[in-house]
Amino acid sequence: MRLGVLDIGSNTVHLLLVDAYAGAQPAAFASHKRPLALVRHLDEQGRITAEGQAQLIGFVREAHDVARDHGAEDLLAFATSAIREAANGREVLDAIAERTAVTLMELPGDREAAVTFFAARRWFGWGAGTILDLDIGGGSFEMAMGDDELPARNVSVPLGAGRLTRDWLPEDPPTTASVKALRAHIKDTLAPVVSSFADLGRPTLVAGTSKTFRSLARIAGAAPSGAGPYVRRTLDRHDLSLWAQRMSAMSAGDRVNLPGVSELRARQVLAGALVAEAAMLAFDVEQLHICPWALREGLILRRLDQLVITGVAPSEWRDENQRRLPKELRRPAVAAAFGEPSA
């Protein structure tokens, strides 16, 4: 069965098509994305501008056509903090529904943390024990912990790398005062949240998901993406602290020359490093493991679980000549991926 996941993030808009079957890990079929960076299309009132909306609607149409042309039978389309926290987020969702064939669902931050944790659990397995998962996005930072498939605690805070860069690091390179002020803000924001995890004990494994953690690990010496997903990649707090200090003195033009840093993320990688460092300090973590699966994979896996529960036979999924799935299974609300009824 070919599944599509359309992810409207703060930095990129991304369609991922996978071939997925019961009992097997999803195999990527095609990927289509664009560096839209919605956080740069906000006006002074925090509203997504007309230009930003036009670009977003254009990509959603384009992604729908790509999914259709490649035979996708199911499409999960969702938005995270970029639209969730925009002052006109609901208007933008309504405009997309009116002008495209896609219903884009808003994914709350705590649920984003839960499904990303679920992906990490599936990747590392039950043998990992209690997992603490950390995920730094463009607009928010998610934390989740537990020893089951879904976390015992899942929290989202507004500490995304793009948001912090825009609000706290306007200079390039940043001033010492700006970096110091941002460090204090991150610490103050994290303190009560991290304290709420204390009753869960210490994790057996700490995972870092998201492009930000992958980039930071690459900067610190981890294997490049070309080495494949099964290479063990870790990020040590000591190395992270050294690089955070170095990047504080660099311009975006200098950072783009670091391994694993794209031009799109060169400005915000410093803010991401400061959040990662503060979180590792607050949770007393010396080393974390990079997980190649995150939110998109979590949604796909939850969707597969739902199809098993609804009785769609695995043998039917593998039949290229099968009839199309019923309408209610072809276009579910994102909430259905969490075992909840569709809106």
List pLDDT tens digits, range 98-144. Answer: 998 888 888 899 999 999 999 999 999 999 999 999 999 988 999 99
CA distance 29 to 251: 37
Q: Please answer whether residues 13 and 36 qualify as being in contact, where contact means their C-beta atoms are separated by less than 8 angstroms.
A: yes
User: Cα–chain-centroid distance for residue 97?
Assistant: 23
DSSP string, 230-243: TS--EEEHHHHHHH
CA distance 42 to 46: 5
Domains of the chain, with CATH numbers? 2-106 (3.30.420.40), 109-290 (3.30.420.150)
**Residue 267 token pair:** 């400005």
DSSP string, 200-227: G---SEEEEESHHHHHHHHHTTPPPGGG
CA distance 127 to 147: 10
Q: Please answer whether residues 235 and 212 qualify as being in contact, where contact means their C-beta atoms are separated by less than 8 angstroms.
A: no
CA distance 76 to 4: 6
Reply yes or no on whether the pLDDT at 320 is more than 60.
no
DSSP string, 77-92: EEE-HHHHTSTTHHHH
Residue 2 parent element (H or E): strand 2-8
Q: Which residues share a beta bridge with 287?
A: 236
Reply yes or no on whether the pLDDT at 315 is more than 70.
no
DSSP string, 118-136: HHHHHHH-GGG-SEEEEEE
Nearest partner of 55 among 34, 69, 75, judged by Cα: 34
User: 171's torsion region: left (phi>0), alpha (psi -120 to 50) or beta?
Assistant: beta
Q: Name the more confident of 40 and 254.
A: 254
Report the pLDDT value the prediction gives residue 103, as an integer from 0 to 100: 85
Report the pLDDT value the prediction gives residue 130, as an integer from 0 to 100: 98
Report the pLDDT value the prediction gives residue 312, as an integer from 0 to 100: 52
Reply yes or no on whether the pLDDT at 20 is more than 70.
yes
Global pTM value:
0.87
Reply yes or no on whether the pLDDT at 314 is more than 50.
no
Report the pLDDT value the prediction gives residue 243, as an integer from 0 to 100: 98
CA distances to 92, 122, 165 from 83, rounded to whole Å, are: 8, 28, 18
Reply yes or no on whether the pLDDT at 217 is more than 60.
yes
List pLDDT tens digits, range 63-94. Answer: 999 999 999 988 889 888 888 888 999 999 99
